[in-house]
């Protein structure tokens, strides 16, 4: 790459750290451009200009142009900001984006349809011609269809390739049929080979059909979404396009998540001194959150409280194992049913179960750096980052054998000599509890346990590795025109 002209990739996202974040997509959007800079690839971001961004960051206004949707012209403004050498463009439209939340509005279909079309229009208006547009999830999935319908005949757009990443297939962006008219899209796209989905319009389908390559955030999830169990009605379509589906695992920032210099920890540690210092950290954390001193293992969870995350299995395990003295600390917010059920368990076992429903990133890292075992019994998990953080901080993960959890954790059951955690396959509480019991058995053998911990702490899932895989994919689709 270094000898050739620098490639430009436009990463289109509905959110990105540090500007505005609500989930894992923001982590990916923040990290990938930094990793690409090391590969001599210029990745720039574009995202909506949400409320508060302009006040916090000094944005430069570049241009304004008209986007034709909802049968009336709407103004889009383009702003730019550079941070640590990475450029981010922002699409501004106050009625659509200067709101309290990022998502969850009745007009989300029009908001993100407008954003997608504005991104395509922005390119010619500011003279930015990327080699590849990399779109993410349903919010940006219409870019390919706008390119095909409105811009395919323009020389400027002719050679631009598109990659579409599915971060979570469960969220598909399904709307009423009239959204096509609202977005000035031809009714010819309302068919099962395009965006029609059980009588409605599915934005995710547009991303799948009108892209040169599709990626998901782990190799196992790339296979799983082609099955009825995980395909959410799109498995047939995904099997049809299986030739262009790739799994590329997310990474984590090892500099940012480092127990050796994490100020959230009362006692910092690394792979050399963790035995003594991590024990001190655990003792301090027990006192901090009100857990009683105990020789029994402490089990931790940092999660969104939703069915997908296996909260039903966690509740069943708490009910069974708390009687035996096992301690639990849960950090997460979400569905009120789960919050209430977990708090009820904490009330039944004071000093043994602690539930914190106010999310706090410092407390999350304290959990990673203090608990003996970290629980992720997900129903499905496209990639998952928490298991990587737990490895980094010396907490041994116990995970369900699905998605990214399968690709990142080596189970003691499968390979004791290389194990970094424990796994179970069937989504049953008894299977999960048995996996925890296997882990507790090893916990009581310090030599075995320390070896598992050390291997976990030495494991690396870096963004540099992910960037190299994405770069190889970009190069392969750019070469298609050469043959």
Average pLDDT for the chain: 96
d(CA 271, CA 391): 11
What CATH number is given for 7-251+464-482 in this structure? 3.40.50.2000
Return the half-sphere exposure (C-beta side, CA atoms, 13 A cut-off) of residue 360: 10
Beta-bridged to residue 155, according to DSSP, are none
User: Does 405 score more than 90 pLDDT?
Assistant: yes
Mean pLDDT of 45-50: 99
| List of residues 6+ apart from 177 with CB closer than 8 A | 190, 199, 200, 201
Q: What is the pLDDT of residue 242?
A: 98
Name the band, by pLDDT with cuts 50, 70 and 90, for residue 61: very high
User: Does 81 score more than 50 pLDDT?
Assistant: yes
User: Does 317 score more than 60 pLDDT?
Assistant: yes
Domain boundaries, the chain: 7-251+464-482, 274-460
Q: What is the pLDDT of residue 23?
A: 82
User: Does 369 score more than 50 pLDDT?
Assistant: yes
d(CA 354, CA 374): 15
Greatest mean pLDDT among 24-33, 194-203, 251-260 lies in 194-203
Mean pLDDT of 391-419: 98
User: Does 371 score more than 80 pLDDT?
Assistant: yes
Name the band, by pLDDT with cuts 50, 70 and 90, for residue 5: low
User: Does 324 score more than 70 pLDDT?
Assistant: yes
Note the pTM of the prediction, 2 decimals. Answer: 0.93
d(CA 198, CA 347): 45
User: Does 117 score more than 80 pLDDT?
Assistant: yes
Q: Could you check whether 7-251+464-482 and 274-460 share the same CATH topology?
A: yes
Q: What is the pLDDT of residue 482?
A: 60
Mean pLDDT of 117-133: 98
pLDDT tens, residue by residue, 212-241: 999 999 999 999 999 999 999 999 999 999
Q: What is the pLDDT of residue 2?
A: 41
pLDDT tens, residue by residue, 327-347: 999 999 999 999 999 999 999
CATH fold label, 274-460: Rossmann fold (3.40.50)
Q: What is the pLDDT of residue 333?
A: 92
Mean pLDDT of 8-18: 97
Beta-bridged to residue 16, according to DSSP, are 20
Mean pLDDT of 295-319: 97
Q: What is the pLDDT of residue 1?
A: 38
Q: Which of 130, 170, 104 is nearest to 8 (CA)?
A: 130
User: Does 289 score more than 90 pLDDT?
Assistant: yes
Residue 73 main-chain phi, psi, to 5 deg: -70, 135
pLDDT tens, residue by residue, 429-451: 999 999 999 999 999 999 999 99
| List of residues 6+ apart from 217 with CB closer than 8 A | 28, 165, 166, 167, 247, 248, 249, 250, 382, 383, 404
């Amino acid at each position: 790459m270094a000898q050739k002209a620098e490639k430009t990739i436009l990463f289109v996202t509905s959110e990105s750290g540090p500007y505005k974040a609500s989930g894992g997509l923001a982590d990916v959007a923040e990290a990938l451009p930094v990793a690409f800079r090391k590969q001599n690839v210029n990745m720039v971001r574009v995202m909506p200009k949400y409320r508060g961004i302009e006040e916090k960051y000094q944005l430069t206004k570049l241009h304004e142009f008209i986007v034709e949707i909802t049968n009336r012209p709407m103004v889009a403004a383009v702003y730019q900001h550079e941070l640590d050498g990475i450029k981010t463009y922002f699409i501004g439209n106050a009625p659509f984006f200067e709101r309290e939340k990022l998502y969850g509005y009745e007009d989300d279909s029009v908001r993100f349809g407008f954003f997608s079309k504005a991104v395509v229009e922005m390119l010619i208006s500011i003279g930015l011609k990327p080699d590849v547009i990399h779109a993410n999830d349903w919010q940006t999935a219409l870019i390919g269809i706008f390119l095909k319908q409105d811009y395919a005949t323009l020389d400027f757009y002719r050679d631009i390739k598109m990659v579409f990443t599915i971060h979570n297939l469960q969220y598909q962006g399904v709307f009423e049929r009239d959204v096509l008219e609202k977005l000035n899209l031809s009714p010819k796209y309302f068919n099962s080979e395009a965006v029609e989905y059980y009588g409605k319009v599915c934005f995710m389908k547009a991303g799948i059909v009108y892209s040169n390559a599709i990626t998901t955030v782990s190799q196992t999830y790339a296979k799983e979404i082609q099955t009825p169990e995980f395909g959410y009605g799109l498995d047939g379509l995904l099997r049809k396009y299986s030739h262009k589906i790739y799994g590329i695992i997310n990474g984590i920032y090892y500099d940012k998540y480092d127990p050796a210099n994490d100020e959230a920890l009362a006692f910092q540690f690394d792979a050399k001194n963790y035995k003594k210092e991590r024990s001190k950290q655990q003792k301090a954390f027990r006192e901090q959150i009100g857990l009683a001193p105990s020789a029994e293992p402490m089990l931790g969870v940092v999660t969104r409280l939703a069915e997908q995350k296996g909260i039903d299995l966690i509740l069943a395990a708490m009910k069974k194992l708390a009687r035996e003295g096992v301690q639990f600390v849960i950090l997460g917010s979400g569905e009120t049913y789960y919050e209430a059920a977990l708090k009820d368990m904490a009330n039944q076992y004071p000093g043994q179960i602690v539930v914190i429903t106010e999310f706090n990133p410092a407390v999350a890292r304290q959990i990673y750096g203090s608990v003996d075992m970290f629980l992720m019994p997900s129903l499905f998990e496209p990639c998952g980052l928490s298991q990587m953080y737990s490895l980094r901080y010396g907490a041994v993960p116990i995970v369900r054998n699905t998605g990214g959890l399968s690709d990142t954790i080596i189970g003691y059951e499968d390979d004791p000599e290389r194990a970094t955690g424990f796994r179970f396959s069937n989504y049953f509480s008894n299977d999960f509890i048995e996996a925890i019991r296997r882990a507790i058995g090893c916990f009581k053998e310090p030599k075995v346990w320390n070896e598992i911990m050390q291997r976990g702490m030495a494991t690396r899932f870096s963004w540099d590795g992910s960037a190299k895989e994405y770069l190889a994919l970009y190069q392969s689709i750019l070469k298609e025109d050469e043959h």
